[in-house]
Structure 1
Amino acid sequence: MPPQPVTGPEGPIRPRAAQLPQPVRAVLFDFSGTLLQMADYPDRVCATLGRAVDEREMDRILTGLEDALADPDVAAAQRGRDVSSRAHRRAFIRWYAAVPELAPVAGALYDQLRSPAHWVPYEDASATLAALYGAGIGVGVVSDVGWDLRPTFAHHGLDGYVSAWVHSFEHGTEKPDPALFREACARLAVSPGEALMVGDVPAKDGGAAAAGIRSYVLPAGQVPGSVRGLDAVLRLAGVA
């Protein structure tokens, strides 16, 4: 890897000469919030509890989940949760269990999180992946996650488009560690300069820039199943 320029308060001390960007030969995607999104929490809660939940109780449960993230013990469990499957499970169960109504079913709610059927692809995910695949551009998934995502993609008929899978829990580290992005490039047999990373969290997915990879960060908070705006990825990759 070429040496990185030294940067001062105003910018690079010895700027490099301008170079034309290399053509995109591979696109790396984040998973949650980029290609697929978890089903709405009200639906998940009702499915896990096995009963209908009225509006007042649901509001209390959702408020409890929001407030729990400020609890020091819950917050501490979230740090480094994606470096192993054990840490991931512990972090989520600790969060769910902080809400009294969910404490008895915290384990079941976590199992539901891993269930392919409870993940919803964005409306334009399949067409985008198909277009990249058809153009001969490699596709990889680089995700901070605690379980293997291939069954989820297979459930929705998306796995055939993906040639490289990099799960954080299998590498003992998480984004923005450049090692994860470089691993995906190696598996797709492209240089970092030939890749594009697409995600929805600047501090995480934008870390690909440290590995020499162009990055495109989508706005967060889209409704599950809606159009994600992935057509921009095709334009960036030079796919008609």
Structure 2
Amino acid sequence: MAINAVLFDFSGTLFRLEQDASWLADVRGADGAVLDLEAQTELMRRMTAPVGQVVELDEEHQYAWHHRDRDPDLHRKVYLEVLRRSGVPQRSQAEALYHRLITPGEWTPYPDTEAALKAVAGSGRKVGVLSNIAFDIRPAFTQRGWDAYVSDFTLSFEVGAVKPEPEIFRAAVERLGVAAAETLMVGDSEEADGGARALGCEFALVDPWPTSERPDALLAALRAHGLL
């Protein structure tokens, strides 16, 4: 069946959270020392990893972790704990970093994000953004005028389901008005985004590399499925 719609994941697929030098310059660990580059890189990974628990948690925070993308309050609670357990003991610094995480304007688009969205929409196909997320990412698109290419945003905290649960993929394709078999899901997680296959969608995997190292993976994925 022909592909008539494309669903894109957000984090690690269309956008990536990448700090500038000021973000972590003054963040100090429990020993009072400024975090080195390796520690900074690991901290950012823990803030944006799509799947897999990144630190050990007590029962209370374990529950919050499992439900973080369904509830903004639980998301905030567990990520502040993740930051604390990852070497950011000062609450004020953890709060500042968390604010960066949930501010759409702080996220960096991949070099080919605009071209990919525009190409799919321009071909007459539907474009959807499907994300496990606990905050509204629409401003990342509207501030660039890219919302004009997106027919629908299916966000886990709004629909009460998370990838790879079939309910969230079903909601996304129904909102686009297409069949799963005519939909391509593009994402950076085989486990989460690849769950679309269970519903009958096609799937394309991209690597969540830094934006400077991944210039055209979205366009390559579209091309591989005959959409360019």
- TM-score in terms of structure 2 length: 0.82
SS of alignment partner, residue 23 of structure 1: coil
Matches within 5 A, 1:20-39: 22-39=1-18
Q: What is the aligned partner in structure 2 of residue 58 from structure 1? A: 35
Query: Structure 1 residues 31 and 133 mapped into 2: Cα distance closer, same or farther (>3 Å)?
Result: same
Q: What is the aligned partner in structure 1 of residue 117 from structure 2? A: 129
Q: What is the aligned partner in structure 1 of residue 219 from structure 2? A: 231
Deviates more, 1:133-142 or 1:93-102: 93-102
- Residue identity opposite 2:8 in structure 1: F
Deviates more, 1:128-137 or 1:70-79: 70-79
Structure 1: gaps (5+ residues): 1-21
Query: Structure 1 residues 50 and 73 mapped into 2: Cα distance closer, same or farther (>3 Å)?
Result: closer
Q: What is the aligned partner in structure 2 of residue 95 from structure 1? A: 82
SS of alignment partner, residue 167 of structure 2: helix
Query: Structure 1 residues 203 and 154 mapped into 2: Cα distance closer, same or farther (>3 Å)?
Result: same
Q: What CA distance in whole angstroms lies between the structure 1 residues aligned with 2:114 and 2:77?
A: 32
Matches within 5 A, 1:65-214: 65=43, 69-73=54-58, 76=62, 77-98=64-85, 99-214=87-202
SS of alignment partner, residue 108 of structure 2: strand
Structure 2: gaps (5+ residues): 47-52
SS of alignment partner, residue 185 of structure 2: strand
Larger radius of gyration: 1
- Residue identity opposite 1:90 in structure 2: K
Candidates 188, 207, 210, aligned match of 1:219: 207
Q: How many corresponding residue pairs?
A: 212
Runs of 4+ in 1 over 4 A off after TM superposition: none
- TM-score in terms of structure 1 length: 0.78
Deviation at 1:229, TM superposition (A): 0.9
Q: What is the aligned partner in structure 1 of residue 49 from structure 2? A: none
- Residue identity opposite 2:34 in structure 1: E
Matches within 5 A, 1:2-41: 22-40=1-19
Q: What CA distance in whole angstroms lies between the structure 2 residues aligned with 1:100 and 1:35?
A: 28
Question: What is the root-mean-square deviation in Å for CA atoms of aligned residues?
Answer: 2.7
Deviates more, 1:66-75 or 1:102-111: 66-75
Deviates more, 1:35-44 or 1:170-179: 35-44
Deviates more, 1:206-215 or 1:60-69: 60-69
Indicate conservation of the 8 Å contact 1:96/1:103, yes or no: no
**Residue 24 (structure 2) pairs with residue 45 (structure 1):** yes
Identical positions, percent: 37
